[in-house]
Structure 1
């Protein structure tokens, strides 16, 4: 199993002084990020699908070091009114990532209001057909989808089940690693139950730092999946990027996985900088 570990997004200004040296321009973030992680979940595409030129720039700034998972635009998951032009743009724009060998799965993140109803099941089937030939990972936030028969159907249609770690507030899928194909996808949102429903922003909902014991629990599940030969690749994305929580959690998870015989990628401090990756040649010292 090849395990990729990274974060949901990389354009986090509150990482200045943590991952990014003070004074780093936002255009330099990705080059620095690429020195420390081997996958990033592109969340900006939820709000506006980048064009070919933008994706080509990402491939160049990452120096071929980072896989990208690409979140579907909200028209696919929240409005659920995509037009043919939306499908065309969503499928064609990341082509520079494919050409560079950096494209990971697409991510469809459905809201809690997306229950398991006949209408929504048909909609999901339509998405599977339109994205046939591409890896599409699906995250459900309503617990009605958390059933073995749903995962069996997803496996049949070539869809990837997203295993989520949510706060224990009830009504959502359980924190269990499930794999429905050759690729697994794990999203760690944090367990801040006090802000999950009441929070006014994603930053508040994801304001949580995992304990070592909590991360070792996930390491146990990943190691079990490896032993069972359940997947060839596993993407682990930390969404708790607020205040740099993810930056502190990832080294702990790497250590826990290696202790269980799961090989992981580590940053190479001696690797040459991608063009524009640093500020006056200096790198952050978090790792």
Structure 2
């Protein structure tokens, strides 16, 4: 199993704080710097506006082919749920430079908590699946009503990747387990800040959480158990606030290696130093 580890987004301005990886780095050089430390990135900006071909080509170039990109679907597909043919065309065609460079990972459909398991929503998911046929599509369900074995069996039959999330114990959310619906796995670590998950005014507040070493070891154990069933696993840390993810990723790498899951750690070079 090849494990790709990275963060939700790479344009994190709070990583310019002293001692973090963007200290003294120009914004235009963020991605090149990021690529020296991580081999995966979740593109969140596409949720708000789908980048064009040139933008994706620039990502492939600046990352030097060292980063696998997962691309979040625009909100019109998951929140508004009224995509046009033009939306599908742009979402499917724009990342072509990533495919050509061999660095395209799955698409990510992040549905909101309000997307309950109803007949209408199940039909919509089926229609979305058909339009993305031939592409890897990872689906994150935030309402616990989807967290059922029969749902994952149906996703496996349709070639969908179940996104295994680590949420706070805030009620109504899927359990923090690693489930496999194909040979590619997808794990999103949101942090466990239960106090701000529902009341937080921003994503930064909701993800303001630093995992302990014990919690990273817990996930390493789960990954080791699932390893025989997977060829690839994407692990994306969403707790980028205040650089929490920068502390947790080395801990997870160490824990995975200790549990017999080899992890490729990018070599930043002598001038860049360690991640922290």
TM-score by length of 2: 0.97
Q: Distance in 2 between matches of 1:96 and 1:130?
A: 20
Give the aligned CA root-mean-square deviation in angstroms.
1.1
- Label 1:90 to 1:18 Cα distance change in 2 as closer, same or farther (>3 A): farther
SS, match of residue 229 in structure 2: coil
Pairwise CA distance, 1:284: 6.3
Misfit runs of 4+, over 4 Å? none
1:262 aligns with 2:265: no
Cα pair 2:21 2:275 within 8 Å, conserved? no
The CA deviation at 1:256 is 0.3
Cα pair 2:22 2:33 within 8 Å, conserved: no
1:170 corresponds to: 171
The 2-side partners of 1:122 and 1:49 are apart by 25
CA distance in 1, matches of 2:20, 2:113: 32
Other-structure match for 1:110: 111
Indicate if the aligned counterparts of 1:19 and 1:284 stay in contact, CA closer than 8 A.
Answer: no
In structure 2, what is the equivalent of residue 31 of structure 1? 32
Question: Taking structure 1 as the reference length, what is the TM-score of the superposition?
Answer: 0.94
Find the residue that maps to 2:37 and give its secondary structure. coil
Task: Name 1:9's counterpart in structure 2.
Answer: 9
Instruction: Show structure 1 runs of 5+ residues with no match.
Output: 272-281
Counterparts of 1:19 and 1:53, CA distance in 2: 29
Does the CA contact (< 8 Å) of 1:18 and 1:286 recur in 2? Answer: no
State the 1:285 CA deviation.
5.0
Structure 1 Cα separation of the partners of residues 45 and 26 of structure 2:
18
Q: For the residues of structure 2 that align with 1:131 and 1:19, how far apart are their CA atoms?
A: 38
Cα distance in structure 1, aligned partners of 2:101 and 2:127: 29
Ranges in structure 2 where 5+ consecutive residues have no aligned partner: none
Aligned length: 275
Aligned to 2:134: 133
Say whether the 8 Å CA contact 2:68–2:103 is kept in structure 1. Answer: yes
Q: Is contact 1:163–1:176 with CA below 8 Å preserved after alignment? A: yes
Residue 186 of structure 2 aligns to a residue in which SS? Answer: strand
Q: Is the 8 A contact 1:21 1:284 kept in 2?
A: no
Q: 1:196 to 1:10 in 2, by over 3 A?
A: same
Match of 1:279 in 2: none
8 Å contact kept, 1:40–1:67: yes
Higher relative contact order (CA 8 A, sep 6+): 1
Task: State how far apart, in whole Å, the 2-side matches of 1:111 and 1:21 are.
Answer: 31
* 1:72-151 aligned within 5 A: 72-151=73-152
Deviation of 1:231 (Å): 1.0
> SS of 1:179's equivalent?
coil
Q: What does the per-residue CA deviation read over 1:225-276, in whole Å, with 9 as the maximum and x for residues that have no partner?
A: 11xx2111000000000000000000000000000110101121337xxxxx
1:274 paired residue number: none
Q: Distance in 2 between matches of 1:34 and 1:220?
A: 27
